[in-house]
Amino acid sequence: MTLLKVDHLTKNFGGLAAVSNVNLVLEENELVGLIGPNGAGKTTLFNLLTGVYEPSEGDVVLSHSGKETRLNGMAPYKIADLGLGRTFQNIRLFKDLTVLDNVLIAMNSKHKEGFLSSVLRLPAFYKAEAEMKQKAVELLSIFALEDKIETLAKNLPYGEQRRLEIVRALATEPKILFLDEPAAGMNPQETAELTDLIRKIQKDFQITILLIEHDMSLVMDVCERIYVLEYGRVIAEGNPEAIKNNPKVIEAYLGGDL
């Protein structure tokens, strides 16, 4: 079943079409790759899908609970509430807060209904807080961060900061997760571990993932389907094998590492 449909999406920055007439679909439970050379428009597309930018043309439509909702024009927090979570190419953590607090804040944005009981410090508040903490620690342990819960985010090694970003995104309980270069700056061993983790969370949490990544071995390894962007346009779509052998893709990456 189709979860997200991107229909003739365009984003112009002055005279530059950073995203140009893009059509894309995400089916429920798919793990899809989004690749393309630097400046191809990948992050801009994520920014359109998550409400950071409004499209110049086209639509983004989410199918959920039997209805369709147009996401274009909606505020980012509303889109997040509808179940679209993301990480950022440039890590965005609360650097001076602990690992645990970084995750609890992300969860809090989901559990606003407890506001009154939290102000009044009712027993329900302590129960909810204990449950949230337990859930946060469980999520962190999937990403091997359970021993770091009291560490300040800024003191984590880079690879662990990237993993914490994913935990924060998962803490909002997304249906669709957008990962923008999660392996950037990781060494080969960390990348291999991350590959397994991405596969695992997609299966265990039954979510749909759209993954931007320059590490081709990671993309080819985990993705069922891949879109290739060049100069804002989709130049190819298909399974990893088809993408690897697509002459347009090889040409776009000429001199690259495909």
Ligand X SMILES: Nc1ncnc2c1ncn2[C@@H]1O[C@H](COP(=O)(O)OP(=O)(O)OP(=O)(O)O)[C@@H](O)[C@H]1O
Of 32 and 171, which CB lies nearer to Mg ion in the complex structure?
32
* Whether the Cβ atoms of residue 115 and residue 121 lie closer than 8 Å to each other: no
Instruction: Say how far residue 142 (Cα) sits from the centre of its chain.
Output: 17
Contact with ligand X (CB under 6 A) among 2, 8, 13, 141: 13
Of 39 and 114, which CB lies nearer to ligand X in the complex structure?
39
20 binds ligand X (CB under 6 A): no
43 binds Mg ion (CB under 5 A): yes
At residue 178, the 3 state secondary structure works out as strand
In the range 41-60, which residues lie near ligand X by CB under 6 A? 41-44
Of 41 and 85, which CB lies nearer to ligand X in the complex structure?
41
Burial of 113 (0-12, 13-18, 19+ CB in 10 A): exposed
Sole residue written with tokens 């392996």? 183
Q: Which residues pair with 93 in a beta bridge?
A: none
In the complex, minimum distance from the CB of residue 195 to ligand X, in angstroms, rounded to a whole number? 19
Of 184 and 250, which CB lies nearer to Mg ion in the complex structure?
184
The rounded distance, in Å, linking the Cα atoms of 20 and 35 is 15
Q: Phi and psi for 2 in degrees, rounded to 5?
A: -75, 130
| Stretch of residues binding ligand X (CB under 6 A), selected from 11-19, 63-71, 76-84, 240-248 | 11-19
* Whether the Cβ atoms of residue 87 and residue 169 lie closer than 8 Å to each other: yes
In the complex, minimum distance from the CB of residue 18 to Mg ion, in angstroms, rounded to a whole number? 10
Count of residues in contact with ligand X, rule CB under 6 A: 12
The rounded distance, in Å, linking the Cα atoms of 182 and 46 is 14
Sole residue written with tokens 């662990």? 160
Of 17 and 166, which CB lies nearer to ligand X in the complex structure?
17
* Whether the Cβ atoms of residue 5 and residue 64 lie closer than 8 Å to each other: no
* Whether the Cβ atoms of residue 99 and residue 164 lie closer than 8 Å to each other: yes
| Stretch of residues binding Mg ion (CB under 5 A), selected from 70-78, 89-97, 100-108, 111-119 | 89-97
Contact with ligand X (CB under 6 A) among 89, 98, 108, 118: 89
Of 39 and 76, which CB lies nearer to ligand X in the complex structure?
39
Q: Which partner from the list ligand X, Mg ion, none does 18 bind, CB cut-off 5 to 8 Å by kind?
A: ligand X
* Whether the Cβ atoms of residue 140 and residue 61 lie closer than 8 Å to each other: no
Contact with ligand X (CB under 6 A) among 4, 6, 9, 18: 18
Of 16 and 116, which CB lies nearer to ligand X in the complex structure?
16
76 binds ligand X (CB under 6 A): no
User: What tokens were used for 122?
Assistant: 């009712």
User: What tokens were used for 178?
Assistant: 């957008």
Contact with ligand X (CB under 6 A) among 3, 20, 36, 74: 36
Binding site for ligand X (CB under 6 A): 13, 16, 18, 36, 38-44, 89
Binding site for Mg ion (CB under 5 A): 42-43, 89
